[in-house]
């Protein structure tokens, strides 16, 4: 089981740090009901348009290449 957990963690760490934080926030926002979800959606939209990290993800998708997220900090 530990090997499987390590493999999943390594896979997740290759993705956007901001996206991982937003997933966690989204899971917790559900506990606040509709108001929490609306606030989360608004914040996620702003982050998508305002962060360099999000732009890298968008450009990588459009250019059909893997995004390069290593230059962005991985905060908890």
Domain CATH code at residue 11: 1.10.12
Q: What is the pLDDT of residues 17-73, one digit of tens each?
A: 878 888 888 888 878 888 888 888 888 887 777 888 888 888 999 999 999 888 877
Q: Does the residue 13 lie in any domain?
A: yes
Q: Does the residue 14 lie in any domain?
A: yes
Distance CA 31, CA 37 (A): 9
Q: Does the residue 9 lie in any domain?
A: yes
Which domain, by its residues, includes 43? 2-62
E strand segments, 1-76: none
Tokens representing 60 are: 């990588």
60 by Cβ neighbours in 10 Å (0-12 / 13-18 / 19+) ranks as: middle
Q: What is the pLDDT of residues 5-15, one digit of tens each?
A: 999 989 988 88
0.85 surpassed by pTM: no
Q: Does the residue 7 lie in any domain?
A: yes
Could you give the number of structural domains in the chain?
1
- Cβ–Cβ under 8 Å, residues 48 and 54: yes
Q: Does the residue 74 lie in any domain?
A: no
Q: Does the residue 72 lie in any domain?
A: no
CA end-to-end span of the chain, whole Å? 23
């Amino acid at each position: 089981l530990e090997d499987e957990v390590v493999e999943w963690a390594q896979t997740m760490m290759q993705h956007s740090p901001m996206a991982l934080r937003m997933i966690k926030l989204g899971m917790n926002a559900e506990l606040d009901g509709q108001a929490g979800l609306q606030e989360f959606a608004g914040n996620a939209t702003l982050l998508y348009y305002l962060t360099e990290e999000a732009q890298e993800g968008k450009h990588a998708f459009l250019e059909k290449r893997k995004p390069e997220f290593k230059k962005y900090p991985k905060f908890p």
